[in-house]
Structure 1
Amino acid sequence: MQTEIKIALGTVQFGINYGISNTHGVPSDEALKAILSVAEEAGINQLDTALAYGNAEERLGLLADNRFQIITKFPTVVSGEELKNTLKQSLTRLKTNSVYGYLAHNADILIENPSLWTTLQQVKKEGKIEKIGFSLYHPEQLDKLLALNIVPDLVQLPYSILDRKFENKLAELKQLGTEIHVRSVFLQGLYFMNPNQLPEKLKPLAAALTELHAVCEENHLAVGDVALNYVIANPNIDKIVMGVETAAQLKQNIQMVSDWKTEASLFSKIEAIEIKDKSLLNPVNW
């Protein structure tokens, strides 16, 4: 058993049917208990959830038994009072007095209403939140927030082998003392797709995907192993937020990490893959 594993368990699947490759639907209570047991045994100590994830917070309140640090996220709110009320409701559902992290679900919420940051700082002082921050979608959002002197304790952002638009921001955030969590390491399953069977809109990515698969095959490695461990190997990244639908999937992902041997030359080849239309690396544009 590892004492430290760079995985935080994503919980969107616990509350809603999520993901293009989800074939299991929302897990039952028994299945969810099994997933949480595997996580705890493997040394995964953080759960990532949100108000927007259906009844995920409620289910964690019933089944997680305060064994994990919880990070949750708030949607658009119009005032500090509404923000406090939203947090109060999340704490009630989670059956806890405090959370490890509380993030704006989209950084735009704070860009449009910076006064909410003052409320977050106040609630943090009261001990209800350990770390405050936001979830990013574009590097420009971070530039705007730092210009407003909104420096996060914790951020979540998309990052994967072919989508490295935040690469230059990682070291900057680390210097500010920010804890960095990344999502979309498999780009919603895109990396596993057959390059010859991509939907019309994604066909411009076929060449890059073919090259990625070829590099993995040459090295006798599965694309999933490479995609996951490339991100794990980045010293600036603290946690990968990874959602699963079954305990078996989680075990498999943990195995991918514990069996890995560093492959620097392989990573260099992947970094050399060119993508002409980078906008297609954002699932919003699919």
Structure 2
Amino acid sequence: MVSEICLGTMTFGGNDPMSAAFGQLDDNSSSQLVNEALNAGVNFFDTANVYGVGASEEILGRALKGKRHDAVIATKVRFRMGPGPNQVGLSRAQIIQQAEDSLKRLGTDYIDLYQIHGPDPFTDWEETLRALDELIRSGKVRYIGCSNLQGWQIMKANGIATQLSTHAFHTNQSYYSLAGRDIEREIIPVVQDQKMGLLVWSPLAGGFLTGKYTRNNQGGADDRRMKLDFPPIDREKAYDVIDVLRDIAKARETSIAKIALAWVLNQPAVTSVIIGAKRLDQLQDNLGAVGVILTEEELSRLDQVSRLQPEYPLWNPVMYTQDRFPVQG
């Protein structure tokens, strides 16, 4: 069982150019966030070997020292971890080596959820799945998951796992927010069909849905979006979303970020929402989203302003069910 909120640790360490754009928190600041999360009932923590090139895992491991059994730790493997030609990807050698390295950095003898951080077009799924299965059978990993895959890739991997009699992916981690609902097309239907948990990253669209960005104020030089404009969004549509969020937040006397997070938490397929923070007040505000129950009217307003345009073959999904029933009268 995991908490509705998962504390993401991409802000921990940040000693490489990519991670530095998200945060460079030291041990003390990171431990404060971890302790605040634990005290609020959060038991789920997400990291990756590539965050800070191992620094995030190290800092999280130290912050959870003596509290390991109170936490569910998720980490990932896929991206480059060294200059060598084989220090990247999802080969058996890379998965086994990186799992061992993550265990050492985290200061633990098991990983609760080990996720592939994305697809590897140069490695067969059979090799990847057998390596992950070996980690589970050895007791070093409890469950496996995937992240940033397309719907067909999830289905293909799970189908091959069935053929091989190996463990299949139990979770999928994807980007999902009011500014980016793309996973509703295929990924959410796959996750629900396969009875997988859905973990959401960047529920505030890289900070864009916090309320500090407006049509007249697009951020200063030190803002994260100015350093790394990620994930990509349709800004004009996102500004329309923010307008509705602001109205709802004002009426409720709360923050825009809290309403944006509450919308994600209200989505039926979502298992846990990964939040990142650099300060205690940010974390505390985000944690408050769990107690926000949006009304049907509020959900409808947010849906209307953010919904996807239907694409083929989803123009009219009702047509595939309505002809099953006799016409009345």
- Does TM, scored on the shorter chain, surpass 0.5? yes
Of structures 1 and 2, the larger Rg is shown by: 2
Equivalenced residues, count: 270
* 1:131–1:144 distance in 2 versus 1, CA, 3 Å: same
The aligned counterpart of 2:61 is 61
SS at match of 2:114: strand
Whether the aligned pair in 1 keeps the contact of 2:155 and 2:190 (CA below 8 Å) is no
Which of 207, 212, 216 is matched with 2:241 structurally? 212
Q: 1:70 aligns with which of 68, 73, 76?
A: 73
- Structure 1 residues 140 and 39: alpha-carbon distance in aligned structure 2, compared to 1, 3 A threshold: same
Deviates more, 1:34-43 or 1:58-67: 58-67
Q: Which moved more, 1:43-52 or 1:127-136?
A: 127-136
Shift of 1:111: 7.6
Contact 2:115/2:146 (8 A) holds in 1: yes
Which residue in the other structure is 2:317 paired with? none
Aligned identity (percent) is: 23
How far apart are residue 31 of structure 1 and its match? 1.6
* SS of aligned partner of 2:300: helix
Contact 2:263–2:299 under 8 Å retained in 1: yes
AA in 1 matched with 2:14: I
- Residue type of the partner of 2:124? N
2:204 paired with 1:177: no
- Which residue of structure 2 aligns with residue 224 of structure 1? 257
1:274, CA displacement in angstroms?
Answer: 5.7
> How well do the aligned residues superpose, as a CA RMSD in angstroms?
3.1
TM-score, scaled to structure 1: 0.82
Aligned partners of 2:309 and 2:276: how far apart in 1?
27
Map residues 244-283 of structure 1 onto 2, 5 A cutoff. Answer: 244-258=277-291, 260-273=292-305
Superposed CA deviations along residues 114-145 of structure 1, whole A, max 9, x for unmatched, are 11111101211222111112111544543553
1:40-62 Cα distance to aligned partner (Å, 9 max, x none): 11111111011101111111222
* Alpha-carbon separation, structure 2, partners of 1:252 and 1:31: 17
- Is 1:14–1:27's contact at 8 Å kept on the other side of the alignment? yes
Q: Per the alignment, do residues 232 and 101 of structure 1 end up closer, same or farther by CA in structure 2, a change over 3 Å counting?
A: same
**1:149-206 superposed Cα distances (whole Å, 9 cap, x missing partner):** 574112110111131111243243134231211111111022232124559x99x935
AA in 2 matched with 1:70: I
> Does the 8 A contact of 2:178 with 2:241 survive in 1?
no
Letter in 1 for 2:73: I
Q: Do the aligned residues in 1 keep the contact of 2:178 with 2:306 (CA within 8 Å)? A: no
Q: Does the CA-based 8 Å contact 1:15-1:56 persist in structure 2?
A: yes
Supply the AA of the counterpart residue of 1:195: R
Point out which structure has higher relative CO (alpha carbons under 8 A, 6+ apart): 1
| 1:76-131 CA-partner distances (Å, limit 9, x unpaired) | 3363133111101110111111011111111x127843111111012112221111
Worse-superposed segment, 122-131 or 44-53? 122-131
Corresponding residue number in structure 1 for 2:25: 27
TM-score by length of 2: 0.72
Q: Of 110, 123, 126, which aligns to 2:135?
A: 123
- The one-letter code sitting in structure 1 at the alignment partner of 2:241 is L
The structure with more helix, counted as a fraction of residues: 1
1:133 is matched by which residue type in structure 2? G
Deviates more, 1:4-13 or 1:137-146: 137-146
| CA drift at 1:273 | 2.2
Q: Structure 2 stretches of 5 or more lacking a match?
A: 79-87, 163-167, 220-228, 311-329
Structure 1 pair 112/144, CA: closer, same or farther in 2 (3 Å)? farther
Contact 1:5-1:42 within 8 A present in 2 as well:
no
* C-alpha separation in 2, matches of 1:265 and 1:136: 32
Equivalent in the alignment of 1:281: none
- In 2, are the aligned partners of 1:158 and 1:183 still within 8 Å (CA)? yes
Structure 1 equivalent of residue 81 of structure 2: none
Residues in 1 aligned to 2:218 and 2:307: alpha-carbon distance in whole angstroms = 15
